[in-house]
Chains A and B, each alone.
Chain A
Amino acid sequence: MDKAEQKTGLFSVATALFVRDIRLAARRSTDVFNPLVFFVIVVSLFPLGVGPEPNQLQLMAPGVIWVAALLATMISLDRLFSHDFETGSLEQIVLAPQPLTLIIFAKIAAHWTLTGLPLVILMPLVAMQMNMTTDMIYISFLTLIIGTPILSLIGAIGAALTIGLRGGGVLVSLLVLPLYTPVLIFGAGAISASAQGFSPDAHLSLLGAFLALSLTFAPLAAAAAVRVSLD
């Protein structure tokens, strides 16, 4: 096999896995919808808790939407590996000749397509509940589109470390939520900054830098974690 052929081979394996994960999820669509419903419910609870005062809601909106996004992503992480682990296909994947990092990357991409992306699309709906202005919604859109991939990437490490463990769901949250703090700070910070008339560029660049870093290291760490968990 020459080099070019091998490259297309790698790419097609990754694509095939991506498509497979999405197809599997489509078959069990509640797994995909539940985190989204959760996201909407969490945001809707806040006005009930703190009162419907529009200005106060607008002030809290960036933080509320981001925290809800963190939690929704977190409860969806279980889907990433547990199903493949139970059916034994994860072991097959680990034994495959293709680099595990690439395969894990494809799985993370599928996870984001099914969780992060729908959250971004759903956001304007809950943003209006929180009395956000159009400008704020636009910035929220930017922060979420940069930030949610980070959540899937870092979350994959936590999911991989807890494969097959009892009480995995709560454990993942303990491992992953502290690592999410920079995303929350930069994400919600960008929206708040622009709402107060400052430029959100610095926040967005930092969020982008964090995304670049996670793209580089998280699949590696997650692949190593999958190996350890299946050993």
Chain B
Amino acid sequence: MNITKYAAPVVFYPLAGKLIPWFAWATGITLTIGLIMGLFIAPTDYQQGESYRIMFIHVPSAWMSMLVYVVMATAGAVALAWKTRLSEMLATACAPIGASFTLIALITGAIWGKPMWGAYWVWDARLTSELVLLFLYLGFMALQASIDDPRRAARAAAILALVGVINIPIIHFSVEWWNTLHQPASVSKISAPSIHPSMLWPLLINAVGFHLFFATTVLMRMRTEVLIRERHKSWIADIVGVKP
């Protein structure tokens, strides 16, 4: 029905406003527990010493960097198929967050690489894939930023995200392939140390925390996006007027 479509951002804005504090608190509590477990409770790894503790943020942010891209492409596909404004806004809101997770994965990976490989940057398959993923996010954001009309921007970026999501497995595969050909097997890869449950728990808890963090910030960004895109609607005046 046309009414529900029209109403969606009206309902979404206050609803998201109510949800954000809950998600924010849940994020804070989960990440605190994850940090304490990761830094204090998890035992020292017998191969990598204490340095493996970087894994507790590196691996979840690498997971998130890919998940957010998939969410972004899915939202873009929904927006292209059904012309739903809210999913356009979701895709737009995803990009900077996904790029941030990718950046965290890259930086922590490079810092972890120093004690493991003796160099900050080694052309490891996973780091290289993350680097290309960062380029894909930057391209998405650059395309959207250079188109003035928000509808065209959202739809063009959605097509790019879909092309990207088909390409990511191929890029990942090609980089793995290239890596096995060029790296001697003796170079140790950044990999999860033989996982003991006391190491697995902080990893999973941090992963949950990152998901909650994503939910919090994506809602925050979407609310701003709603305000900008719907600024000519009358209900916006009520929201802006009511709030001091």
Residues of A bordering B, CB below 8 Å: 154, 157, 161-162, 165-167, 171, 174-175, 177-179, 181-182, 185-186, 189, 193, 206, 210, 213, 217, 221, 224-225, 228-229, 231
Q: Which of B163-178 contact A (CB under 8 A)?
A: 163-164, 166-167, 170-171, 173-175, 177-178
Q: From known contacts A179-B164, A189-B181, A231-B152, infer whether A162 and B170 are also in contact, taking CB-CB under 8 Å.
A: no
A185 in contact with B177 (CB, 8 Å): yes
Most B CB atoms within 10 A — which of A166, A167, A225? A225
In the complex, chain B residues whose CB is within 8 Å of the CB of A224: 80, 159
Segment at the A interface, from B45-53, B91-99, B138-146: B138-146
Q: Which of B134-167 contact A (CB under 8 A)?
A: 135-136, 138-139, 142-143, 146-147, 151-152, 155-156, 159-160, 162-164, 166-167
A228 in contact with B152 (CB, 8 Å): yes
Residue contacts A-B, CB under 8 angstroms, 12 given: A161-B160, A165-B147, A174-B138, A179-B163, A181-B175, A182-B167, A182-B174, A185-B178, A189-B177, A217-B163, A225-B156, A231-B152
Q: From known contacts A182-B174, A185-B174, infer whether A157 and B163 are also in contact, taking CB-CB under 8 Å.
A: yes
Interface size on B, residues (CB 8 A): 29
Q: Chain B interface secondary structure, helix, strand, loop or mixed?
A: helix
Q: From known contacts A161-B156, A161-B160, infer whether A181 and B174 are also in contact, taking CB-CB under 8 Å.
A: yes
In the complex, chain A residues whose CB is within 8 Å of the CB of B173: 182
A221 in contact with B146 (CB, 8 Å): no
If A174-B138, A206-B177, A213-B166 are given as contacts, then 15 extra A-B residue pairs at C-beta distance below 8 Å, sorted by A number, are A157-B159, A161-B143, A165-B147, A178-B136, A179-B136, A181-B174, A182-B167, A182-B170, A185-B175, A217-B163, A221-B162, A221-B163, A224-B159, A228-B152, A231-B151
Q: How far is the CB of A192 from chain B (nearest CB, A)?
A: 8
A177 to B167, CA, bound (A): 12
> Considering only CB atoms, which chain B residue lies closest to A186 in the complex?
B174
> Considering only CB atoms, which chain B residue lies closest to A184 in the complex?
B174
> Considering only CB atoms, which chain A residue lies closest to B170 in the complex?
A182
Residue B132 lies at the interface, judged by CB distance under 8 Å to chain A:
yes
B132 in contact with A178 (CB, 8 Å): yes
In the complex, chain B residues whose CB is within 8 Å of the CB of A174: 135, 138-139, 142-143
In the complex, chain A residues whose CB is within 8 Å of the CB of B142: 171, 174-175
Q: How far is the CB of A71 from chain B (nearest CB, A)?
A: 15
In the complex, chain A residues whose CB is within 8 Å of the CB of B175: 181, 185
A224 to B151, CA, bound (A): 14
In the complex, chain B residues whose CB is within 8 Å of the CB of A185: 174-175, 177-178
A206 to B135, CA, bound (A): 23
- By Cβ-Cβ distance, the 5 closest A-B pairs, closest first, are A178-B135, A182-B174, A185-B174, A175-B139, A228-B155
Q: Which of B192-206 contact A (CB under 8 A)?
A: none
Partner of B132, one of A161, A167, A175, A181: A181
Partner of B139, one of A167, A178, A182: A178
A206 to B173, CA, bound (A): 10
A225 to B155, CA, bound (A): 8
Q: How far is the CB of B166 from chain A (nearest CB, A)?
A: 7
Q: How far is the CB of A179 from chain B (nearest CB, A)?
A: 5
B156 in contact with A179 (CB, 8 Å): no
In the complex, chain A residues whose CB is within 8 Å of the CB of B147: 165
A177 to B152, CA, bound (A): 22
A210 to B167, CA, bound (A): 10
A155 to B159, CA, bound (A): 14
A87 to B123, CA, bound (A): 46
Q: From known contacts A178-B132, A181-B171, A185-B175, infer whether A161 and B159 are also in contact, taking CB-CB under 8 Å.
A: yes
A217 in contact with B166 (CB, 8 Å): yes
A171 to B141, CA, bound (A): 10
Q: How far is the CB of B232 from chain A (nearest CB, A)?
A: 20
In the complex, chain B residues whose CB is within 8 Å of the CB of A213: 166, 170
A193 to B177, CA, bound (A): 12
A225 to B135, CA, bound (A): 20
A210 in contact with B152 (CB, 8 Å): no
A225 in contact with B167 (CB, 8 Å): no
A167 in contact with B146 (CB, 8 Å): yes
Partner of A193, one of B160, B166, B181: B181
A117 to B146, CA, bound (A): 32
A177 to B132, CA, bound (A): 9
A225 in contact with B178 (CB, 8 Å): no
B152 in contact with A229 (CB, 8 Å): yes
